[in-house]
Structure 1
């Protein structure tokens, strides 16, 4: 896959390079999810719970791109790419916010956690990625496309629409693995959807603030090679 093509270029099927990269990112996340469990589906590493949610939320964004729901789909896809690059980077060289999240996973030894324990393991990873990584991904994507962060607000809020479907898939995975029978109660899906939307809105607010002080973005962009070969 070529990574140095112009944002608006398309492949032989008419898909933009950014769209193809997003599909590859989902495939990479699915592969990581497989590594974090054994052949019977037993979770070996509690980083799995976040990866599961990450897969379903990424698929949600890609579907909305396919459906034409965004005014700036290429920018949204660029956000997804930088978002994943930051996750890749932190898997190898965790920043402070990820060190906290990963430490909780390492300290928790139970191979068959309860539903509440899964949420205890999942939430710090969600906070690390959405509150700290997402603002940088948004800022860098907007810089690439020469637009202000606020110009992306309508598309960002569009991402939150229909998010309950992604949450339902994630919750079904969790309940199955902890021994609870699906389907998940609607109230629980609503509560989790609200939580994820709230965190993403906090990430958005941080991106708007970050645009005013870009020097606080942390990792320089050139430290984040995207390995999708």
Structure 2
């Protein structure tokens, strides 16, 4: 199956390497996306918007063979995945949200991250919640920081724009890392605003993968298995 993997903030496509390897070994064609402005620390990202990131993924979908693809979005990349689905619902078989969920129309990914000179460097670890950092040991933290690329600031603050109700009919899998699926489902049932969009999707599966916010580093084999299971539903 064609699998398109969208990284979260501060990461390029190669950050999916340990997850993509077993998927490719199983016969899937995996596209690990490097979004505009994340090509290198020296890239010009001053004018990069959330819409630019969405357009890059939509362009890739348009280039791929005609069969529907599996979209995977981690963290802030989940917003990009959902907007790309909104643009091309007929091209997507399912979306896997990794420690994230679909971002509703008018919402922003994160307006609280510290902006420095028009971009968002990877903050000090003390900025993150304890649950974010579970299993991210000193070696993994050092490797993450060495590869981190500043995030275009507007990608974090621009409002999401959605137009196509057909997006709601495409199945979703939410990989629950920091919070157990039972808690997330409770929030959905209670109408919590931050997960309101989840309640509008016809078919949602929840998978528990207990670890911190970056399972592509802390539990790559387990995450690959979850994605492979989603792909198997559509082969």
Higher strand share: 2
Q: TM-score, normalised by structure 1?
A: 0.29
**Structure ID, larger Rg:** 1
More helix, by proportion: 1
